[in-house]
Structure 1
Amino acid sequence: MASLVSRTISKTPLPSRLPLLLVGAGLANLTLARTLQIHGYSDPDRHFRIFDSASPHKRTRHALNLQRWATDPLDALLRRGKPHYGNQPGLFQSCTVDAHHGGSGYVNTKINLLRTSSPITDLNDDDGAGSVRYKKQEVVDMIKGGINVESRMEFLRFEEVVDAEGRTAVRAFFKDGTEVLGSAIVGGDGLRSKVRSSLLPTITPKVLPLVVYTGEENLLSRMMVGNIDEDDTLPAYNKKNPAEVDCSSVYVGDGVTFVFSKTYLDWENARIQWTYIRKPKGFVEEERELVGEDGEVTKDLVTSVEEGVEDKLYRPNRKVTEAEVIPEEFYQEIEVLKSGSDVSQELINYIQDIREPVKTTKAERKASLAELTSKPPTYNWLMRSVKLPETKEELDQLKSKVPGGDKVFLIGDAAHAAPIVQGCSGSHSLVDGFELGTLLAKAFRTLALPPTTTTSSSSPVLEALNTFESTETLTRWRVACVDKSETELMSLVQPKAVWEAIQKAEGSSELTKEQKELRKDPRVDRALEELAEWHTEQTKKTQKETEEKERRRKQEIEV
């Protein structure tokens, strides 16, 4: 595919300092911008500008899972930016979906049987202290803080600019006709990244062979919390302390899986999101031998769907506008499932009226979200993933084919979109922004020093960006994020006989080891170890900086 990126010769000298252009205001770029702001680097003429295609009034009612190993370092950084929160609970904790009830956003990592609701095994959750479910909009607002996001700025393309003195820059073009010069571009514009399609046109999202539909039900909070003792109609499962109620749970049956995720809107109203997952009819999974360039033979599982087998619920090529067009066969399939003996009555209550539109609650009207609730509650969800090359060398070779490609970088879902399992991709997006922001803060500190050479003023910034975009980072994205999420999601959809065998053999170390081998990869282990080391290092660093700051404060008082 030919590149649409061009190179332009500037007739006038380029400015000596240009800002970074952050395209997309998702978790990754917002975290990057906030990290730089807290370090004191937020001048739009010298440090960064951040653009987003959405309206500034657009709000989301969705929730998301995030891992503690990703939120803890950022939480500590945000505290540094807001000292008066020093003795308060974690800032992220105030954003959990059950914060109204004093909960912790706990995500149950147990895999439960649809038929009995009894746990049979664990979903892999060895990334740290576990997954927590948050209200996405509250997390976004908290991270954003006072960052100025230039809204309604839809990115189209970029070009390289060179002046007579040999200085180079990139120019970003936006749909409204705006053109902006920058020292580099950081694309954090999500799964359908236009920055990525301009930079790496051959890398496109892959759709996993899964049938996935999701919807919502509005319920009373007490139906899920169950902390009203005199109400004997509530299932015993729900009669718990609010802080102990799980906010997301996985239930498996005969080749189908349900995930139930809960959000408490206020003391009275709650919402439960259900997600239905199965493999398409005619799904085939086979082991094949792959020969690498070095002649090394490896084995890999290759999935496909048999030609000629019709499954009206499997629509991998559907358009975005068709996501809410639900085939009648879906509702028929759910009715058959509900009428059988493989789903407990407790769970049937959560999917009783999936045809009904979501009703607007008082809490939603207060939050100005009423316009979102008019949409049908059921949605055909395509599980997509994006993988960049395995090494920095391979990635640089692809980027070198595009003029100015050496000044364009990707983070967040633009670089590692993955199926939504335990908040893996979102967590890595936070790490992206935090880690890159820390490196860029050091680069801007260097630029603030008196110049000693004739080197381009943007070189420390480019060095920081290239240091971040290392083979180690690409491995983290590819293996610990995308491969891990894909493997875990696909492993959830198994025949009933497999789950019954696992339940029967619960406690058998041999079977447990076998199940782990099916879900794990040595590269995942190494990447997770590196993340754990990084987390420990950041915690120690933050503690050391806090102690040093306190020491200087005491010295100033003494003086």
Structure 2
Amino acid sequence: MIAPAVSTIGAGLSGLALGLSLKSKGISGKIYDLAPGIPRFNYGITLHASTYRPLLGLLKMDEATFRKETAVDGARGEPVIWKDRTHLVKFERGLGFKTRCLAGCDGINSSVSRSLMHKVDADVHPFVAFSGRRRVPTDVFVKVFGQSMAENVMIVHHNGAARLEITISDMTSEYVILGYIYSRQTRSQGSTKDPLHTPLRPSPGAKLTPPALYDEIEALGNLPQPFNTIFHAESMRNDRLLHWLLRSRRPQIDHSKQLADRGAFIIGDAAHGAPLLGGEGANMAITDGIDLAEHIAKRGVDTAAGFSNSKYESWIKFVDESVQRLRDMHNPGGRRH
């Protein structure tokens, strides 16, 4: 098959922002993504105005409409084999293509990065985090949550070292989907390990909820409403829960050089992983996609080294600030909720 000018692996935020921006500049491209079905878990994200405003012209949408109607989700990409600055991309079903311009936008576990150089592990930070979802009838939402969330899509409560968060993920005339997160720093003491902190667990372990979590929720006692309704052990047993590992990965100059030498552009979480809490990775992912399209339009597709060098310092700052926000969120005297 004939390769497009820019082949993008991953249809998450960075990949879609890149593709849309390239199209607006008349540069051909194609996005490849593995999406086995509708994801069981979806999440709300917070976008800064400085991030989404450059997209409005591309989307042909005014700001009011964007703020009212836009929702996004993401997926993951596929393996790559590199040879002689031409990338041979192979998919599980035997399909493939060759391309001279490859953009890896496939997340913190990037198959593109792993295929082009040795694996770079992310740092797992000493925090416990569990995310859940619950559907609440609209009349119940108004009665229980209405006063607290009438003007806020997110509310936060601190109970000792624990941080409790409730967000509105979706709303219809019949029901409201609420997302919630229980998080805290680890409590390991000496040889006694925190039963809720398993940094070496495999990916499928994200769907396994340790019984100790429910014991810990019960020990919180009588929380103020509406937190008492959401963070109720027996109710949580019926919810969809995910055990998050709060990871980050700082860009390394030698790794960036290896990828650039192979002619690959790596952006978004594939280039600079930030924790799910406090990371604001969605904003940086969109910015990366727009910036890369501008770079390619001005300098061509054989300038990966120049792009990574221009972004390196800002990526380092982004990851470091994200980790600090995570710490502040769990510090009662910190600067952020």
Normalised TM-score (structure 2): 0.88
Given candidates 250, 260, 269, the residue that maps to 1:413 is 269
What is the letter of the counterpart of residue 175 of structure 1? E
Given candidates 465, 468, 475, the residue that maps to 2:313 is 475
Alignment-derived partner of residue 318 in structure 1: 201
Given candidates 73, 81, 85, the residue that maps to 1:158 is 81
CA deviation vs aligned residue, 1:450-508 (integer Å, no higher than 9, x gap):
xxxxxxxxxx3113x333212x412222212x2111111122223xxxx4xx5xxxxxx
Alignment-derived partner of residue 34 in structure 1: 20
Residues 127 and 183 in structure 2, CA contact (< 8 A), matched pair in contact too: yes
Q: Distance in 2 between matches of 1:57 and 1:68?
A: 28
Q: Distance in 1 between matches of 2:38 and 2:195?
A: 37
Alignment-derived partner of residue 109 in structure 2: 192
Residues 257 and 305 in structure 2, CA contact (< 8 A), matched pair in contact too: no
What is the letter of the counterpart of residue 20 of structure 1? V
Residues 122 and 249 in structure 2, CA contact (< 8 A), matched pair in contact too: yes
Residues 65 and 422 in structure 1, CA contact (< 8 A), matched pair in contact too: no
Give the stretch that moved more between structures: 52-61 or 29-38.
52-61
Q: Distance in 1 between matches of 2:263 and 2:245?
A: 32
Q: Does 1:179 align with 2:96?
A: yes
Residues 354 and 378 in structure 1, CA contact (< 8 A), matched pair in contact too: no
Q: Which structure has the greater CA radius of gyration?
A: 1
CA deviation after TM superposition for structure 1 residue 442, in Å: 3.5
CA deviation vs aligned residue, 1:251-304 (integer Å, no higher than 9, x gap):
22211111111123312210111111111122xxxxxxxxxxxxxxxxxxxxxx
Q: Distance in 1 between matches of 2:95 and 2:149?
A: 57
Q: Which runs of 5+ in 2 are unaligned?
A: none
Q: Does 1:486 align with 2:323?
A: yes
Q: Does 1:381 align with 2:244?
A: yes
Q: Does 1:466 align with 2:329?
A: no
Given candidates 148, 151, 154, the residue that maps to 1:238 is 148
Q: What's the secondary structure of 2:113's corresponding residue?
A: helix
Mapping of residues 336-375 of structure 1, within 5 Å: 336-339=219-222, 343-352=223-232, 353-358=234-239
Classify 1:384/1:239 alpha carbon distance in 2 versus 1 (closer, same or farther; 3 Å). Answer: closer
Residues 221 and 264 in structure 1, CA contact (< 8 A), matched pair in contact too: no
* Alignment RMSD (CA, Å): 2.8
Given candidates 251, 257, 276, the residue that maps to 2:182 is 276
Q: What's the secondary structure of 2:46's corresponding residue?
A: strand
CA deviation after TM superposition for structure 1 residue 328, in Å: 1.3
CA deviation vs aligned residue, 1:74-116 (integer Å, no higher than 9, x gap):
123322xxxxx4xx444421336xxxxxxxxxxxxxxxxxxxx
Residues 67 and 423 in structure 1, CA contact (< 8 A), matched pair in contact too: no
CA deviation after TM superposition for structure 1 residue 239, in Å: 7.7
CA deviation after TM superposition for structure 1 residue 51, in Å: 0.9
Alignment-derived partner of residue 93 in structure 1: 67
What is the letter of the counterpart of residue 316 of structure 2? R
Alignment-derived partner of residue 214 in structure 2: 331
Residues 34 and 78 in structure 2, CA contact (< 8 A), matched pair in contact too: yes
Q: Does 1:207 align with 2:207?
A: no
Alignment-derived partner of residue 121 in structure 1: none
Q: What's the secondary structure of 1:380's corresponding residue?
A: strand
CA deviation after TM superposition for structure 1 residue 336, in Å: 1.1
CA deviation vs aligned residue, 1:298-330 (integer Å, no higher than 9, x gap):
xxxxxxxx5511221111111122222211111
CA deviation vs aligned residue, 1:358-396 (integer Å, no higher than 9, x gap):
4xxxxxxxxxxxxxxxxxx1221111112211x4xx445
Given candidates 30, 34, 46, the residue that maps to 1:49 is 30
Q: What's the secondary structure of 1:333's corresponding residue?
A: helix
Task: Say how many residue pairs are matched.
Answer: 334
Q: Distance in 2 between matches of 1:50 and 1:468?
A: 20
Residues 188 and 412 in structure 1, CA contact (< 8 A), matched pair in contact too: yes
Q: Distance in 2 between matches of 1:385 and 1:396?
A: 16
Q: Which runs of 5+ in 1 are unaligned?
A: 1-14, 43-47, 80-84, 97-134, 141-150, 162-167, 227-232, 283-305, 359-376, 444-459, 503-514, 520-559
Alignment-derived partner of residue 372 in structure 1: none
Classify 1:397/1:72 alpha carbon distance in 2 versus 1 (closer, same or farther; 3 Å). Answer: closer
